[in-house]
Structure 1
């Protein structure tokens, strides 16, 4: 039995739904840009008069909303949130769905080691993340280029999508790690979602209050922000290194815990 192909078939429907959702999110968000683009600078002035906390919560204040890439930067936070939830849910469910569905005995009876099972499952999850990221990137390039009226923003969007992919890997590995460590598979997604939302809230608090900026290393939502990437047009090497370390540690925890756990059959 090829576990990788089995998992790809099992996640196919979910991937299609999430991909359509991302396309709709990008297309719908950029269509709204057309409605406000005529106001140009007046829209920026309106945003500047809002309280900083409200600007932060709504993702405004750091972008020139008269430009398509600026408006896309505002939209990027919501794309990252959707991608993060998908990655975390996928990472958690793909590890423990046999225990949840009481079919673990069937899988473990096959001539494949537990490490081999985890590897195949994680490879399938990674392919899902790549496909979702690629579809989002292609849709974003098309929509932003269209509303930029010929101005190319491809480089900025590619860098943003690379940053989003690192976040997808972090949250996917987090979901897998929690699912492998926690003894109750049905609640692994809930715990992971709680952690994700706590990280998002911490990120918003950091944006509101610069005095706690030192805490930015605790939340991946601060690693690849649109305002930083659009301004510098590159990823921060410190956060890239930190991301790789976190992913490796979470995957290591997944392998070790999955090999040691007593499976619920």
Structure 2
């Protein structure tokens, strides 16, 4: 790829209402007659339900997204953004989740992760008009990083800052030095926009399962069984299941993905 920055995907989502005209789209009037009309125009009354709807604010409904609670309120023009390393699910990881599902009590309602990845930033709020400059800053600062490998290690329990969700994640046992340097670089980009930086002394991991609420202590009880199973699966399945060859990073902002290819 000649350009390290590539727009991968664009699909419908909460932020899609901020579209701007394309380069060939004119927002000027098409017909000159619009300017020359001298007859009086009567405005039709606005239906009452539309007048009422203007005063309504967006209400977050956790039931629409598996009970998850937003870390920040939805607001027009705000794009949830984070940088991460993607991982394409392999048989070994899927089988590990199946074992976890059988081991952990049903009342916890454990769910498989929506997508597998290793986060390199927190999820931050990016204003729509910042996106282009922010992505260019990422491109410029990440261009010197080289491709590398990440090897998986054992499973650990994590909880988010708000203590509203608990996760089971696979820790890493190689590649940490490079990840730390990447985080330091990304923190510089975030500080340019007064955005929160990543965790100090981060525990890099790939979340594979989650549930609503703070059940960290309860899940800790099942780690020995889960890690015993992980060791068995590492013997059964090829090593391709247990590492990531990192040749690019992704930045997800709203409903868009930007790719940064490593050298």
Fold equivalence (TM over 0.5): no
Larger radius of gyration: 2
The TM tier, using the shorter chain, reads under 0.3
Structure ranking higher in helix proportion: 1
More strand by share: 2
Query: Which is bigger in relative contact order (C-alpha 8 A, separation at least 6)?
Result: 2
